Each structure stands twice: as structure tokens, then as C-alpha cells.
Amino acid sequence: MDLENDKIESAFQAPDAYFSALETRILQQLDLIQSEVVEEKITNPPVLQPIDPPAKGIDTEGVQKRARKQDPITSRSNAVNKELQNIGTFEIPALTFTTNENPEWVNLTAISELPNDINVADIQKITFEQPTVAPVKAEEVVSEPSPIQVGLFQPAPILEPSDTVPKSNDNANHVLSVSDEVITEDFSNNATKIDVDGGLAVKNEPSILVHRVPELTPLEAPVAEDLKIEENADIEAAYAAYLEAEMNEPSDTVKSSVIPEHQPQGVLEEEKTEDPPMAFAPIAGRQHESSTPGWLGIAASFAAIVAAYFIWNAIQPPQKEQTAEVTLQQTEQSQIVKPSVSQLPVASLPVSTLLLESIIRDELPANTEKARVFSLVDAQKLPEEKRQAMGELEDSNLSVFDMEDELFEDLDLETL
Amino acid sequence: MNIQTPIVNEKNDVSRLTLLSEDALANELLRDKPSRLLFAEIVRRYQKQIYYHVRNLLVSHDDADDATQNTLIKIWQHADQFKGESKLRTWIYRIATNEAINLLRKRKPSIDFNEAQPEMADLITSDVYLSGDDIALKLQKAICYLPFKQKLVFSLRYFEDLSYEEIADLTTTSESALRASYHHAVKKLEIYLGVLG
């Protein structure tokens, strides 16, 4: 190759971008590029964009108040005038609070000056100032004012057997009230229908007594005239007297002639065992303590255990067969494990074989289950007679000794 | 009435410096302390030559980049030391060569410039900004087996097209010695290229 005539370019070829960056870097390092930057800024001054003033001043007082007062009940902020949005683009001045509240959201309960009167009326209709008034149901009941207070507890009238109560001629399920107006109220999910007819109270299906007691009571009824209680303090005393009277009577005594004869006896007993009603008695039925003595349950459990034991023994296979089977299995295992040496006739074996057999038998454990595990016999440590016996054993094809463990390395079996 | 702003005057100066020859540019440097525009013109005009020169001597791009940067900074710092006794390019090449030597000494204090540095040949295939021409790469590898003085003379003469006079000024060596050195370098390279080829 002739370098003088064949010009070869340099192998180093840096791009122009590198040199531009190098130039900039050098000029910056020597603080010579700042004037150029200033020069460019001067030649191209930034154009200031005029800022349009807001179209109209916006009252954000309502928004701010609503943000401060998050409670919708106590808030008294002004409403957002949405008509301002139709004016055009405008800027809302910076607020002095931070909130995630959407400005578009309008809190109806916080606006007191809604133009629609209907809406105002609807809002006022729902109020928290009268929490104890029953909302609609009390208005639907058409009856003359009476001392009966719906929802308040009244003691049940005590029906004495001696009281003569006229039996209703109509259907027993419907009884006229004092005002001869049929009032039907359902207090226990239709479980008890209560009709009032001339001050008589008849229960049809008294499954829940707590509800039956207060609403059925016509205070002007002649039956309850003697026991009319005006003070709440006398309620418990009156009922205690009622309970005492009932306790003195036999349980199967018919208390009133108006009670149907087909009424189950359990219902009457339930009435007797009913606890005195309380102001906040639970609706669900109460659990009564069981009258069954405790030793009876223990005895029943013991009897069940004994019965289970006898049943278990009855379904098990006979013990004799099982024992025979286990014995057979053990016999088979022992026959497999035991070497065939023991089965050979002793007279036909040489003396050395017998010696070896004795050695092996000494090594065998007593348990036949572990008889498969043999300990290794170090032939080098054995006496000469035993070595000879092992050799004869192998010659008789009764055993094969493994040479891998080099136990018989010095033992010349061919010479034995 | 033509009133020129300073910006317009500076633009005119840039255009004028760009059109100046090497000798005129050296005269500008001799006349007064170099202005910012004059130095920028020197950087724009000589940075590639400086880079390729030190790259031929150092092979490594990073070393060449450092040497180029130091060279340009020293030109700015020692511009008043330019006497005009040699060409401006010769003066700049001398500064660049000294920077390359200083960098080699910094990398390897016990370096012997009368011997080759064959370890540089390994960088030929692994460094950046390399040509894809195989012959050019082989030549650069072969140059790495030259002693530093022969490498310097061959690089300035073969790649940078400097005359023997300029190289003599740069290296303070006689032209005859440079011719002999260059001749030996070419012969070695031809042998190396035959072996490598």
C-alpha cells in the first residue's frame, strides 16, 4: 500500500453537533455567551399580551359563605346567581379558602331566599323540630279525641271472672267502639286484630301480648271501671294485684266468658307467666327458664353414650377373626424376612454354616418387623472359622457378599 | 442618515471576522486584546482542527475533548503572548500538542515518547466518533505503533496538511529531521498495514 499516493482519511469523524456543543460550552465557561443571549433578547423582545379586565364584578360572597359553613342546616349563604354565567367569559377573583366544593353545586337547604314558594314549603315540611310526632298515621285515624294516647303504654284491663260482660252478637272479630265507630288498627303486623265494641275487648289471636295491652284498652269500659288508673305510679300496683289474683286461681279457670272455648291452654298459661309490661318492652317473645331438672339432661347424655358404645361394638367384626388375620399377616412377614438358612435341614449344612447362622441370628433383632435391617459384618475382624463359614455359605449359593464396601478386600475367597 | 445601533455593528463585525483570512485574523489578535467576537471566530474556525489533531495523538475521545477544551481556554488566556512570529495555526497547534503531551503525562507519568503506545490501538474499535472505513481504522491502529514523535509528524503532515516548515516551527526541529521522521513513519505504517491487512 502506498500511503503517499492513496490518501486515507482519518478514522475519527465527530459530528457537527458535537462541535456546536463544544463551542457553546467553551463560550459559557469563559462567560462570553451571556452578551449573545442578551443580544437575542433585545432583538426579539417578548410581546406582552394585554390582559382583558373582567367583564363584570362578581359577587362571590355566597360561595365563600357556603364554603365556610359546610353544615347545610345552619348555612345562610347567598345563592349563586347563575345568570352571570350567561354574560360571557369572566374571571372569579381568588378566594381566600381552599375547598373541593363545586361552584356549580347549589345547596338547597342553605338557600333561604328561593323564589319558588312551593319549594320552600316542601323544605319546611321536613323538619327536625317535631321528632316525636307520628307523621301521617295519626292523621288518618278518624276518631273523636279520647284519653287514649297512641304509642304510649296503658295497663291492660283486668278481666275478672265475676264480671258480667255482654257477649257480642256479631262476629267476635269485630267489636264496636265507644263512639260506635268501627276503628280497626293493626299494631302487630296483622297478628292481632283489635276491635272495640261497646267497651268490650276481645282478642282473636293474642300472639303478642305487649301490643295487645295498650291499644285495646277503652278507658270508659265498665269492666275496667274499678281498676281505672289515672296515675302512672299506680300501674304496677294494680297489675301486681291482678297477678296476685290470678295466682290464687287455678290455671285452668276460665277468666271470662268472652274467651272462646277453643282457645288453646298454652295461650292462657302464657298470659299468666307474662312479666309485667314495661315502657320499652321488647317486641320479640321472651325466653322462659326451663322447668326440666338438670340431672335429667346429664342422665340422657350418659344413656346416649352407653348406647353409642354398644352400637359400635355391635357393628365391629368378631374379634377372633381379626386376631387370626393379624396372626396370619405376622406369620407371612416372618416367613419372608427370615433367611432360607433356617429352613434348611440342619444336618445337611456344614459346621461353618451353622456358625454363620448363629452369627446372623445374634445380629437379628427380636422384632420381626425390623428384621430386614442387618448390620454389616466386618470380615477382617472375624475369626478364621467364621470367615471360612461365610465362604462356604457363598459357595453354596446361600448368600452373596457385596464387595463394594471393601470389607472383604484382604479376603481371598478363591483360596477358602 | 444612517444610524447603526451597537447590535448592527456587532453583526457586521461577526460577518467581517468570518471573511477574514488567517493572517488577517492573526493581525486582529495582535492589534489588541482579543475581543469576544474574535475569540468566538477563532473557536469556530480552529476547534475541529484542534480536536482531530489531539484525537490522532490521544485516540480517546474523552481525552481529545479535554485537550481541545483546555487548548481553547489557553488561547483565550494567553492570546497576548502571540507574537506573530509564526502562523496563527502553528501557534494554536503548538498549544494543542502541548496539551496532549501534558494529558499523556498525567495519565501515565512514566511515559516514554520515543516508544509506541500500542495499548491505544484497543480504543480504535471501541471508542466513539469513528469512521466505518476499515482501511482508515487499520491506519489508525497502525499509527498507534509509531513512536510519539513520528506519530506527531505523520499526523500533522498527512492529516492536517501542515508543511514541513510549520511542523518545524511547531516542534522546533529541523525540516530534514522531520522529513526523515515522516519517511520512517510512512514505511512503518505500510508494513503494519500489510501485516494487519
Provide DSSP, A299-334. HHHHHHHHHHHHHHHHHSPPHHHHHHHHHHHHHHHH
Percent helix, strand and coil across chain B, each rounded to 5?
A: 75, 0, 25
Of A221, A229, A223, A227, the C-alpha closest to A177 is A221
Give the C-alpha distances (Å, rounded to integers) separating A30 from A23, A381, B66, B72.
11, 96, 15, 10
Report residue A414 as a C-alpha cell.
Answer: 478363591
Tell me the CB-side half-sphere exposure of residue A94, using CA atoms within 13 A: 1
- Average pLDDT of span A216-220: 47
Q: Which cell numbers in the block locate residue B96?
A: 494543542
Give the pLDDT of residue B73.
Answer: 94
- Which set of grid coordinates corresponds to residue A139? 292523621
Are the CB atoms for B188 and B145 separated by under 8 Å?
yes
Strands A185-186 and A193-194: antiparallel
Least Cα distance to B35 among B86, B76, B87 occurs for B76
Q: How far apart are CA A379 and CA A403, in angstroms?
A: 11
User: What pLDDT shows up at residue A315?
Assistant: 87
* Chain B residue closest in CA terms to A8: B136
Write down the H helix ranges in A249-318. Answer: 265-273, 294-315
pLDDT at residue A139, as a whole number: 44
User: pLDDT category, A21, cuts 50, 70, 90?
Assistant: very high
Q: What is the pLDDT of residue B104?
A: 92
Report the pLDDT value the prediction gives residue B153, as an integer from 0 to 100: 94
- Kindly tell me if the per-residue pLDDT of A110 is higher than 60: no
pLDDT on residue A393: 82
The answer to whether residue B72 neighbours chain A at the CB level (below 8 Å) is yes
What pLDDT score does A378 carry? 72
Q: How far apart are CA A164 and CA A231, in angstroms?
A: 26
- For residue A196, name the pLDDT band (cuts at 50, 70, 90): very low
Q: Which of A19-23, A238-242, B26-30, B79-83 has the lowest mean pLDDT?
A: A238-242
Q: Is the pLDDT score of A294 beyond 90?
A: no
Whole-number CA gyration radius for chain A: 55
What is the total residue count of chain A?
416
Question: Whose CA is closest to B151, among B97, B94, B70, B88?
Answer: B97
Chain center to CA of A191: 32
β-strand partners of A201: A196
Closest CA to B29 of B74, B73, B78, B66: B78
pLDDT of residue A69: 66
Instruction: Tell me if A337 sits within 8 A of A365, measured CB to CB.
Output: no
Cell of A104: 356549580
The predicted pLDDT at position A177 comes to: 39
Whether chain A has a CB inside 8 Å of the CB on B75: the answer is no
Instruction: State residue A110 phi and psi, 5-degree precision.
Output: -90, -5
Shortest CA distance to B59 belongs to which of B119, B133, B132? B119
CA distance B190 to chain A (A): 6
* pLDDT tens-digit series, residues A360-371: 666 555 554 455
Mean pLDDT (whole number) for A64-90? 59
Within 36-55 of A, beta carbons closer than 8 Å to B belong to 39, 42-43
What confidence score (pLDDT) does residue A173 get? 43
Window 165-194 of B, Cβ < 8 Å to A = 186, 189-190, 193-194
Could you give the residue ranges of the DSSP H alpha helices within A152-234? 209-216
**B129 reaches A (C-beta below 8 A):** yes
Q: At A277, phi and psi to the nearest 5?
A: -65, 145
Give percent helix, percent strand, percent coil of chain A, each to the nearest 5: 40, 0, 60
Q: What is the mean pLDDT of residues A175-201?
A: 43
Task: Please give the mean pLDDT across all residues of chain A.
Answer: 59
CA distance A2 to A171: 138
Q: How confident is the model at residue A74 (pLDDT cuts 50, 70, 90)?
A: low
pLDDT, position B11: 77
Determine the Cα–Cα distance for residues A336 and A2; give it in Å rounded to an integer: 96
What pLDDT, on a 0 to 100 scale, did the predictor assign at position A245?
A: 81
CA distance A45 to chain B (A): 14
| Single-letter amino acid code for the residue at A200 | L
How confident is the model over B72-79, as a mean pLDDT? 92
CB within 8 Å: B136 and A1: no
Q: Which pLDDT score is estimated for A277?
A: 55
Q: What is the pLDDT of residue A178?
A: 40
The confidence band for A109, taking pLDDT boundaries of 50, 70 and 90, is low
Whether the per-residue pLDDT at A170 is higher than 70: the answer is no
**B51–A29 C-beta distance less than 8 A:** no
Q: Quick one: average pLDDT of A44-65? A: 58
- Mean pLDDT confidence for A251-272: 51
Does pLDDT of A41 surpass 50?
A: no
How many residues would you count in chain B?
197
Are residues A75 and A109 in contact, defined by beta-carbon separation less than 8 angstroms?
yes
- In the predicted model, what is the mean pLDDT of chain B? 88
Residues A29-50 have a mean pLDDT of 57
Over A59-70, what HEC string results?
A: CCHHHHHHHHCC
| Partner residue opposite A11 with nearest CB, options B69, B73, B131 | B131
**Mean pLDDT for the stretch of residues B157-165:** 93
Instruction: For residues B88 and B116, give the distance between their C-alpha atoms in angstroms, rounded to a whole number.
Output: 30
pLDDT at A81: 60
Given this model, what pLDDT does residue A366 score?
A: 53
Q: Tell me what the mean pLDDT of segment A113-134 comes to.
A: 46
Give mean pLDDT, residues A317-340: 61
Whole-number pLDDT of residue B151 = 93
Alpha carbons A140 and A194: distance in angstroms, whole number: 17
The tally of CA atoms less than 13 A away on the side-chain side of residue A100 is 0
A26 and B CB contact within 8 Å: yes
Q: What is the pLDDT of residues B81-127, one digit of tens each?
A: 898 888 999 999 999 999 999 999 998 888 888 888 888 888 888 88
> How many angstroms away from the CA of B37 is the closest CA of chain A?
9
Q: A153 pLDDT exceeds 50?
A: no
Check: CB of residue B20 under 8 Å from CB of residue B28: yes
